[in-house]
Amino acid sequence: MQESLFPILRTTVYDRPLIYLDNAATTQKPQSVIDVLNSYYTSLNSNIHRGTHYLATAATERFEEVRRKVCAFINAADRGEVVFTRGTTESINLVASSFGERFIGEGDEVIVSAMEHHSDMVPWQMVCGRKGAKVKYIPFSDEGVLDLDAYKKLFTERTRIVAVNHVSNTLGTVNPVEEIIKIAHSHDVPVLIDGAQSVAHIAVDVQALDCDFYCFSGHKMYAPMGVGVMYGKRRWLEEMPPYQGGGEMIKDVTLEGTTYNELPFKFEAGTPSVGDVLGLGAAIDFMLSVGVETIGRHEMELHDYAVERMRDIEGMRFIGTAPHKAAVISFLIGDAHPYDVGTLLDKLGVAVRTGHHCTQPIMDRYGIPGTVRASFAVYNTRADVDAFINALNRIAPMLS
C-alpha cells in the first residue's frame, strides 16, 4: 500500500532493498511533501505575517491555510488554539514552562505516567525543580498497562496537571486517555496528551477527548522535520504567559514594556519554519487521502502478522504486551544485546531502532538495557514483515 509514493523506499543498503521499520522514530516522506518543500523554496520563500509584497502575502496565506487544516484534522474549536512549534518536545516544554510559570507553585504536584518519553518527563521534572513542586508517577503493569487505581489515588488538592502519552513509543500501549482525562477533570485538573505516537495512526478529536493540551510532531506523520503542534484550550492559553519573547508574539513594545499578541501568535516568537509547515499541510492531505483509520488498520494487520511469526523464534521475548496496542513491537532475543540484534538486522537491510528509546525509566522497570523496536507505517507491506522475519531467523542462531 502506497509504497511507490515514497522515493526513499527505493533505496538499497548493502546491496539489499531497504526494509524500513523505524517509523516510530520518524516516517519517510511521500513525493507530495517533498514537492511542496521544493516548490516553496523555488517559488514562494518569504518571511510571513509582516510583509506587504506578493511573496510574503502568498506565503502567509499558505501558512495560515495549514493552520486551518491542522485545526480541522484534530477538530480544534478554533485556529487560535493551534500553535506551531518545532515538534512534540518543544510543544511540551512550552506547556510545562508557561503553564508551570502561571499555575505551579511550591508544594504543588504534577502527575506523569512512568512510561513517558523523556520529552514528557524531563520538562515536568525541570519545572517542578524550579518551583519546589513534586512529580508523581502512574505505575504500569508487566504487560505495559497503566494502573488506573493507583492513578486515582495520586490526586490531592495540590495536583495541578496530568501528562500522559496517548501511545507509548516503547511499549506500543494505547493508553485509555478518555478515562484518564475524565478522572483528572473530576478533580478540576487539566491534562496534557503527548500525541507524538498517535496522530499518524489514530484519528484524533481533541474536543471529543476533551484534553486540555495535545502535542505532536510533523515528522512522525509523513511531514518534514522541524514542525510540530501544540494544541491548547483557549481558556488555558489566554492565561498562560508567553514561552519565548521576540518578534511576532508582541502587540506593542515600548522601552517600558510589552503587550502580547493574540492567540496563537503569543506563543510563536520568531520566524517559523514556513516550508516545513506547508509540508505538514501536504502530509495531512496525504493521510486524509488514505484515511487515518485505514492507515491504523493496515499497520495493525502487519503488527499482528509479525508478532505471530516472531513467536516461533527461539528466545523471543516481547516487552509491552498490552491488550490495546499500536503497531510498535519491542523485543529481545535471549540474552543478546539489543544493539547487536539491530546491527545484524541492519546488515541484512532491515532498519529497526535499538536502545532505551528515550524511556530509561521503562528499561529500569523491566531491568533491561534496552530493546529492539520495529514499528510500522502506511507504506510497509507483508513482504517487509517476511523480510524482517527471515532476517531474524538468520541472525537468531548467531546470537545464542
Catalytic residues: 358
Q: Which three cell numbers stand for residue 123?
A: 520538562
Dmax (CA) of the chain:
72
Residue with cell 496496542: 325
Which residue, 378 or 396, has its beta carbon nearer to ligand PLP?
378
> Which residue matches cell numbers 507491506?
381
Closest CB to ligand PLP among 2 and 119?
Answer: 119
- Shortest distance, position 51 Cβ to ligand PLP, whole Å: 29
Q: Name the one residue in this structure whose C-alpha cell is 487521502.
A: 289
Beta bridge partners of 213: 192, 232
Q: 161: which 3 cell numbers?
A: 496537571
Q: CB of residue 165 vs ligand PLP: minimum separation in angstroms?
A: 5
By the 8 A CB rule, do 359 and 196 touch? no
DSSP class of residue 9 equals G
10 Å Cβ neighbour count for 197?
28
Q: Which is nearer to ligand PLP, 284 or 395 (CB)?
A: 284
Cβ of residue 259: shortest distance to ligand PLP, in angstroms? 31
Query: Closest approach of Cβ 255 to ligand PLP, in Å?
Result: 37
Strands 213-217 and 228-232: antiparallel
Nearer to ligand PLP, 217 or 330 (CB): 217
Q: Is 222 helix (H, G, I), strand (E, B) or coil?
A: coil
Nearest approach, Cβ of residue 197 and ligand PLP (Å): 5
Estimate the share of the chain in helix, then strand, then coil, as percent rounded to the nearest 5: 45, 20, 35
- Which residues are at the interface with ligand PLP (CB under 6 A)? 87-89, 117, 119-120, 165, 169, 194, 196-197, 217
